[in-house]
């Protein structure tokens, strides 16, 4: 007798590979990782033992990354949820760089990146849809 624990799950890895969105999601994670890495290496070195506010240049570097990530998400026709997941996956892959470049700002930086990405994603989607209707 097969117990519920032994039954195969409804979404096996085979099902996941058959999902046409998987390659697009993986592509967005790679783009996000590359763009966020570039932004992280441009961050000002953190002060010793003190929380430091991001400089205008620090914010601009992340802004550029967010813009590129959102453009790629639109190009791949992904949903906002997929955008956020890709950003968080990429962010997790960059733990070593984040530690040296952000220190205490790490959590604040991720929150800012995610909220800015969501705003830009919907603003740019509305702009694209609005132009297509004209």
Please report whether residue 106 resides in a domain. Answer: yes
Please report whether residue 125 resides in a domain. Answer: yes
Please report whether residue 11 resides in a domain. Answer: no
Please report whether residue 12 resides in a domain. Answer: no
Other Cβ atoms closer than 10 A to 44: 15
Q: How far apart are CA 110 and CA 129, in angstroms?
A: 28
Which of 123, 27, 129 lies closest to 69, judged by CA? 27
Please report whether residue 90 resides in a domain. Answer: yes
pLDDT tens per residue across all 134 residues of the chain: 444 334 334 444 445 556 666 788 999 999 999 999 999 999 987 766 566 788 899 999 999 999 999 999 999 999 999 999 999 999 999 999 998 899 888 999 999 999 999 999 999 776 555 544 44
Please report whether residue 63 resides in a domain. Answer: yes
Please report whether residue 6 resides in a domain. Answer: no
Count of domains for the chain: 1
The range of the structural domain enclosing residue 31 comes to: 22-44+54-133
């Amino acid at each position: 007798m097969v117990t519920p624990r032994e039954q195969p799950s409804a979404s096996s890895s085979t099902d996941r590979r058959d999902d046409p969105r998987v390659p697009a999601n993986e592509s967005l994670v790679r783009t996000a990782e590359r763009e966020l890495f570039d932004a992280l290496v441009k961050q000002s070195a953190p002060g010793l033992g003190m929380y430091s506010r991001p400089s205008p240049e620090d914010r601009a570097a992340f802004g550029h990354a967010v813009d590129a990530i959102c453009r790629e998400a639109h190009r791949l026709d992904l949903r906002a949820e997929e955008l956020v997941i890709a950003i968080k996956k990429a962010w997790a892959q960059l733990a070593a760089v984040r530690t040296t470049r952000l220190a205490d700002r790490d959590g604040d930086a991720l929150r800012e990146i995610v909220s800015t990405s969501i705003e830009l994603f919907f603003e740019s989607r509305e702009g694209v849809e609005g132009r297509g209707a004209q």
